[in-house]
Amino acid sequence: MTEVRQTAPAAGRYAALTVVRDGDGYVLGSGRSPDFVAVPDIGGQVVRWLQDGASVGECARQAAQMAGEPVDVAGFLDGLVQAGLLAADDGTGADDGTGGGRVAPAAVTAWKRTLGRALFGPAGLTLQGLLAAAAVVVMVSQPRTRPAYTDAIATSVPLLSILVLAMIGTALGLAHELAHVLAAWAAGVPSRISISRRMIFIVYQTDLTRLWSVPRRSRIVPLLAGMVFDAAVVGGLAILELTGLAGTSPLIAHLLREVVFLNVSAIAFQFLIFMRTDVYALFVLATGCKHLWDTKGAVSRRAAGRATAGDLARLEAVGGREIFWAKIFLCLYAPGVLFTTWYFAAYALPAVRKIAMTALHTAISSPASMSGATGAIAFALTVASTSYVLWGLARTVAGQVAMVSRRRWHRFRG
């Protein structure tokens, strides 16, 4: 039976630990740290006994009986201290104001849980599921409702279309991530939204690390929430278009078509799992892997004859099952990286250059006009977003080159 174990404050320094059954072991977490640690079955049992009030000595005796050999419980607890999950034992169990005592895991307030359950409780999920199913039915049966690339062009003014596309895309991206946040709140898990990069794409992302503190089945909805919400919006708008309720204004109708186009594109993007998208997170959950990304890197470096001692130690520790799935993932990752690199060089950079030069020409030729102002804004947005991506790529490449150079230097000196 899968369960989460959190005890009353009477358990002292161990009360802040969360103990979650995951596969054939447990995942330990704490309000003290954003990190989680996977431990074997006996490790989870030791923490449970400690939370129930057993002493370290009693736990060592019970663990020895369970394992059939002596178990270093004190060393195990020292490891949790080093990992930042457990406060060092000062002999008092009191909080000294530095986070060394009874630190409760981060909580989700009642109003946040209520808000999250409104959309991602049984009723909300059922409604969104029906709308998502309606999107598929309508688009299969009515070809005119399917998105086309022309839906991305909102007006006859190209630069204005770029700005409209950017604003709508930004709003939809935030709505997608907010769906993750609300679903996490419904599960009692705190989360937050940030901006990051996936290779050549700027993305919003939600920190769902705390999902490790809840059972596996409770992680599914928060991970799916963004795509479910996107699909529900598509379904709702497809029905509006089909029934003629989208409005009589051509501009409004076209903007709604643009929303459909962007959301369908966003759902398709999530299946690029080599960019650690939502589907990647679901892949990790389904396979039961805990270190898939790092294991993938270790497997690839070993295959290329460049494995470090750390890589070999990781491969020894994770076992054959995770290595198998890392190889499967690597078969998806490598072609994806090559395709994205080709696409960036062949299409993205030339297109960005054309957009930037057109915008700059408009801004210079008509600086006092509305079109000139629009061109200046479009140029600034294009340069800023492209510079962010290129800077991130440059840092990644520089880091890889520096790492390879250090290895070669150490081998040369050795």
pLDDT single digits (tens) 75-104: 998 888 888 888 776 554 444 333 443 344
Q: How far apart are CA 38 and CA 216, in angstroms?
A: 14
Q: Do both 123 and 78 map to the same domain? A: no
Overall number of domains in the chain: 2
Q: How far apart are CA 124 and CA 126, in angstroms?
A: 5
Please report the pLDDT score of residue 220 as a whole number.
94
Please list the ranges in the chain whose pLDDT falls under 70.
Answer: 1-12, 89-106, 156-159, 196-203, 245-248, 400, 403-414
Block residue for tokens 């993205």:
348
Please report the pLDDT score of residue 328 as a whole number.
93
Residue 360 is assigned to a structural domain of this protein: no
Q: How far apart are CA 244 and CA 353, in angstroms?
A: 40
Q: Beta strand pairing status for 4-5 and 17-22? A: antiparallel
Q: How far apart are CA 198 and CA 381, in angstroms?
A: 18
* Domain with 64 in it: 4-82
Block residue for tokens 């708008």:
237
Q: Do both 160 and 224 map to the same domain? A: yes
Sheet containing 25-30, strands listed edge to edge, beginning at the edge strand earlier in sequence: 4-5, 17-22, 25-30, 33-40
Residue 239 is assigned to a structural domain of this protein: yes
Please report the pLDDT score of residue 100 as a whole number.
40
C-alpha Rg value of the chain to the nearest Å: 26
Q: How far apart are CA 272 and CA 336, in angstroms?
A: 7
Task: Of 280, 268, 321, 315, give the one whose Cα is nearest residue 294.
Answer: 315
Residue 410 is assigned to a structural domain of this protein: no
Among residues 238, 264, 288, the one where a domain terminates is 288
Question: Which residues neighbour 14 within 8 Å (Cβ) at sequence distance 6 or greater?
Answer: 7, 47, 50, 51, 86
Among residues 288, 320, 342, the one where a domain terminates is 288
Q: How far apart are CA 32 and CA 359, in angstroms?
A: 49
Residue 75 in tokens: 């060393």
Please report the pLDDT score of residue 177 as a whole number.
92
Q: How far apart are CA 274 and CA 6, in angstroms?
A: 35
Please report the pLDDT score of residue 158 as a whole number.
64
Sequence length of the chain is: 414
Residue 221 in tokens: 């909805």
- Residue 277's SS3 state is coil
Q: Do both 152 and 191 map to the same domain? A: yes
Q: Do both 41 and 151 map to the same domain? A: no
Q: Please spell the DSSP secondary structure of 22-39, one letter per residue.
A: ETTEEEEEETTEEEEEEE
Please report the pLDDT score of residue 105 as a whole number.
47
Residue 42 is assigned to a structural domain of this protein: yes
Residue 386 is assigned to a structural domain of this protein: no
User: What value, to the nearest 5°, has the Cα angle with vertex 282 and ends 294 and 27?
Assistant: 60
Q: Beta strand pairing status for 25-30 and 17-22? A: antiparallel
Q: Do both 252 and 140 map to the same domain? A: yes
Q: Do both 139 and 200 map to the same domain? A: yes
Side-chain-side CA neighbours of residue 341 (13 Å): 9
Residue 339 is assigned to a structural domain of this protein: no
Q: Do both 166 and 236 map to the same domain? A: yes
Q: Do both 177 and 215 map to the same domain? A: yes
Q: Please return the burial class of 383, using the count of CB atoms within 10 Å of its CB with bins 0-12, 13-18 and 19+.
A: middle
Q: Do both 59 and 139 map to the same domain? A: no
Angle between helix 41-51 and 56-67 (nearest 10): 150
Residue 390 is assigned to a structural domain of this protein: no
Task: Of 52, 55, 61, 51, give the one whose Cα is nearest residue 28.
Answer: 51
Q: Do both 164 and 277 map to the same domain? A: yes
| Beta strand segments in 243-326, E | none
Q: How far apart are CA 87 and CA 10, in angstroms?
A: 15
Q: Do both 177 and 246 map to the same domain? A: yes
Q: Do both 75 and 116 map to the same domain? A: no
Among residues 288, 304, 326, the one where a domain terminates is 288
Residue 225 is assigned to a structural domain of this protein: yes
Side-chain-side CA neighbours of residue 398 (13 Å): 6
Residue 339 in tokens: 């395709």
Angle between helix 220-243 and 158-186 (nearest 10): 130
User: What value, to the nearest 5°, has the Cα angle with vertex 328 and ends 287 and 37?
Assistant: 40
- Residue 276's SS3 state is coil
Q: How far apart are CA 355 and CA 366, in angstroms?
A: 17
